[in-house]
Amino acid sequence: DGGITQSPKYLFRKEGQNVTLSCEQNLNHDAMYWYRQDPGQGLRLIYYSQIVNDFQKGDIAEGYSVSREKKESFPLTVTSAQKNPTAFYLCASSMTRPYGYTFGSGTRLTVV
Amino acid sequence: DAKTTQPNSMESNEEEPVHLPCNHSTISGTDYIHWYRQLPSQGPEYVIHGLTSNVNNRMASLAIAEDRKSSTLILHRATLRDAAVYYCILRDVNPNRDDKIIFGKGTRLHILP
């Protein structure tokens, strides 16, 4: 079955460490996105990529980095520069507009 | 970027229809209206989308105002499993504009048994 996989589901890291969240899709979608969600809040866009080897900053890119070397993969690195990294991170992919997004099941990151 | 406005929360009784409103007064001619829903600790799930005409699928119906400044997601017969946060967003199909979608806080739908 086609889908989008985020791993791990839960992640714990010590303050000051970089951590990379995985996102893989086998839907043959060109576009991929990373969102952050805090408790009781909506989704905020971190980075997005419309094609391999290209990506753009979203509204809250500071302290995060991404790469898009393969169509299927869009990993997100949360760096030590991110001041408040504890959150629920969601990855999504999409066919060409206007079609809808497919979301992964999320990674809950806790920094202690 | 065009924005949407939704009520923070709504309640409905089980087995009754639910009408979830969304205002998008600054919508452009190339914006499609999309609806998603999110269950606790899960990623959002696509529900439906449309441009001008009303749309139906197995999950819901989408009614779009004639001036396109508002829309309504209709769940015809709510069940307890429909309790979720519902997001109304706009997606611009103009290839000259960034494909950057803004999610608001959505509407938290409570279903009463």
Both tokens of B100, joined, read 């950057």
Contacts of B104 in chain A (CB under 8 A): 42
Distance between CA A88 and CA B44 in Å, rounded?
A: 12
Distance from CA of A75 to the nearest CA of B (A): 17
Over the stretch A35-49, which tens digit does the pLDDT of each residue have? 999 988 889 999 999
Say how far apart CA A46 and CA B108 lie, in whole Å.
24
Instruction: In whole angstroms, give the CA distance from residue B45 to residue B34.
Output: 11
pLDDT digits (tens, 9 = 90+) for B91-102: 998 888 878 788
Smallest Cα distance from B113 to chain A, Å = 24
CA distance B9 to B74: 15
The mean pLDDT of chain A is 93
Low-confidence ranges of chain B (pLDDT < 50): none
Contact predicate A36/A87, CB 8 Å: yes
CB pairs under 8 A between A and B: 65
Cβ contact A105–B44 (<8 Å): no
How far is B35 from chain A, CA to nearest CA, in Å?
A: 9
Q: A99 pLDDT band (50/70/90 cuts)?
A: confident
pLDDT computed for residue B103 by the predictor: 87
**What local confidence, expressed as pLDDT, does residue B2 receive?**
56
CB contact under 8 A, B105 and A88: no
Note the Cα B32 to chain centre separation in Å. Answer: 11
Strands (E), chain A: 4-7, 10-13, 19-25, 31-37, 43-51, 54-57, 64-66, 76-78, 87-94, 101-103, 107-111
Those residues of chain A whose CB sits closer than 8 Å to some CB in chain B are 31, 33, 35, 40-45, 48, 50, 56, 58-59, 88, 90, 92, 94, 97-106, 108
pLDDT tens, residue by residue, A4-34: 999 999 999 999 899 999 999 999 999 999 9
**CB neighbour class for A48 (10 Å; exposed up to 12, middle 13-18, buried from 19):** buried
Do residues A23 and A91 touch, judged by C-beta distance below 8 A?
Answer: yes
The total number of residues written for chain A in this structure: 112
| pLDDT at res. B1 | 53
% helix, strand, coil for chain B, step of 5:
5, 45, 50
Q: Per residue in B3-12, pLDDT tens?
A: 899 999 999 9
Compute the nearest-CA separation of A31 from chain B (Å). Answer: 9
pLDDT (0 to 100) of residue A20: 96
Dihedral sign of CA atoms A97, A92, B39, B28 in order:
negative
Asked if A76 and A89 count as a contact pair (C-beta separation under 8 A), the reply is: yes
Contact flag B44-A56 (C-beta cutoff 8 Å): no
